[in-house]
Chain A
């Protein structure tokens, strides 16, 4: 049974459950494998260290995917990400834990299109296990009308 979120009944703001994800070396290597992004900072610890990093780190697509997962896990699979902005303030390294906290900050009905679009604006902060903010995200979800 697919969970369906009722746009009409959402009262903003809504705080989403915190999501934690331990990023092992395997996960960082899967990141290159699934995105085809073979920048050596994503698979070669020696290269990463030569560039001033402690070890290999996940790429932008992985952080985007984590933010999208936080949004659609909460809103259900009939929702769709239609816009996402993110700032890469710090990196998530192999051995780190990604900690995601999301909040719905606005709901909008876009009547400039037919049929109208039912939208939710969210802010998601991706931090590491030390509480350092690595990636602030603003994301807009479209819900079924």
Chain B
């Protein structure tokens, strides 16, 4: 048996998906601030000894606080996999695009960081659906490429990062 997918996918046709292109979500604010614990757990995961993540004195004088690893950007607005309301976590807009594919994999990512993100920042994201490709076949299966643009701002309203992502929403081994 496989584990239940904790990500809720929305199903529909390519025509349904095209209807959603251009839609932007309401701003969504992270439940918790950027924290040293998460900064250092991510740095441990990728074994990055950068003093900006580990040395509070150096990081404070250089960045104004421990620096959020740029690689962890999408993680700050990823909700915990369970919450006390019992509601499933909010899916990213890319997963809420109505399409036939039963699973997904990431295909490309482009991130920009106009300002450093530091410990204590509380981030808000607005996600926008940029495009959905016609049906494509890859070695994994048949599906559609879904391009989204996330804009991250901090508590004073300044945009600290943008994240343009393309994922492949597909059905494994499916034939056209």
Contact = CB atoms under 8 A, between A and B. Distances in A.
B124 interface: no
**Interface range on chain B (Cβ under 8 Å from partner):** 35 or more
B172 A83 contact: no
A40 B106 contact: no
Contacts, number: 144
A69 B51 CA distance: 11
Given A34-B44, A88-B108, A81 B70 contact: yes
A46 B3 CA distance: 8
B147 to A, nearest CB: 13
B79 A36 contact: yes
B114 interface: yes
A31 B103 CA distance: 20
Contact of A41 (B46, B105, B173): B105
A129 interface: no
A65 B72 contact: yes
B110 interface: yes
Contact of B50 (A21, A59, A62, A69): A69
B69 A68 contact: yes
Contact of A73 (B44, B50, B63, B67): B50
A40 B69 contact: no
A10 interface: no
B81 A33 contact: no
B23 interface: no
Contacts of B74: 35, 37, 60-61
Given A69-B50, A80-B116, A35 B105 contact: no
Contact of A84 (B7, B111, B165): B111
Contact of B106 (A33, A68, A82, A88): A88
B71 A34 contact: no
B111 A62 contact: no
Contacts of B46: 21, 62, 65-66, 68-69
Interface of A: 2, 21, 27, 30-31, 33-41, 44, 46-47, 50-52, 59-69, 72-73, 77-78, 80-88, 91
Closest 6 CB pairs of A and B: A65-B71, A65-B46, A64-B71, A35-B75, A69-B48, A34-B41
11 contacts: A27-B45, A34-B44, A41-B105, A65-B42, A68-B71, A69-B46, A73-B50, A86-B109, A87-B107, A88-B105, A88-B107
